[in-house]
Structure 1
Amino acid sequence: MSQEMVLRWAEQGVFVTLIISGPLLIAALAIGLGVSIFQATTQIQEQTLAFIPKIAGVMIALIIFGPWMLTQLLTFAESIFGNLHEFIG
């Protein structure tokens, strides 16, 4: 097993991690921005106000994007286990 192979698998692992976490992070970011704008315009400075919409939004995004995320993760895991013979020797 060469250094290039290890770096390639590590790069793919980081890329899959970013791809899988992307939709949830974008949903949390968008909802947080919306709540922040709402708080700024209404001058409500309650810090706990942002948590409930973010949690609900991330759960909805997880329901919507969950099957796609699982497919990406399973594809990566299958490619690792399918090439297991390359890791040995």
Structure 2
Amino acid sequence: MTPEFVVGFARHAIETTLMISLPMLGIGMIVGITISILQAATQIQEMTLTIVPKIIAIFLALLFSFPWIMEKMVTFTTDLFNNIPNYIG
């Protein structure tokens, strides 16, 4: 294995991880910003008002994007296992 291969493989793994986590992070950010704007407008500074909606939104995003996430993970893992002989040689 060459250093270029290792760097390329690590890059592909990191890109896959970021792509998989993007729906949950995006929804959490949108909900967090929306709640923060509402808190600033109403001057209600309750911490549970921020955390609970984010948890629910992230859970729903995970629930709806789970089939896509599993497809990406299975594809990555299948490619990894199928190419093990190429990685060794």
Aligned residues: 89
Q: Partner residue of 1:69? A: 69
Alignment of 1:1-89 (within 5 A): 1-89=1-89
Unaligned runs of 5+ in 2: none
TM-score (normalizing by structure 2)? 0.94
Q: What's the C-alpha RMSD, in Å, of the aligned pairs?
A: 0.9
- State the percentage of identical aligned residues: 39
Q: How far off its partner does 1:73 sit? A: 1.0
Unaligned runs of 5+ in 1: none
Query: Within 1, Cα distance between the matches of 2:30 and 2:80?
Result: 34
Moved over 6 A (4+): none
2:44 is paired with a residue whose SS is coil
Query: Within 2, Cα distance between the matches of 1:40 and 1:28?
Result: 18
Q: How far off its partner does 1:65 sit? A: 0.7
Query: Within 1, Cα distance between the matches of 2:42 and 2:10?
Result: 46
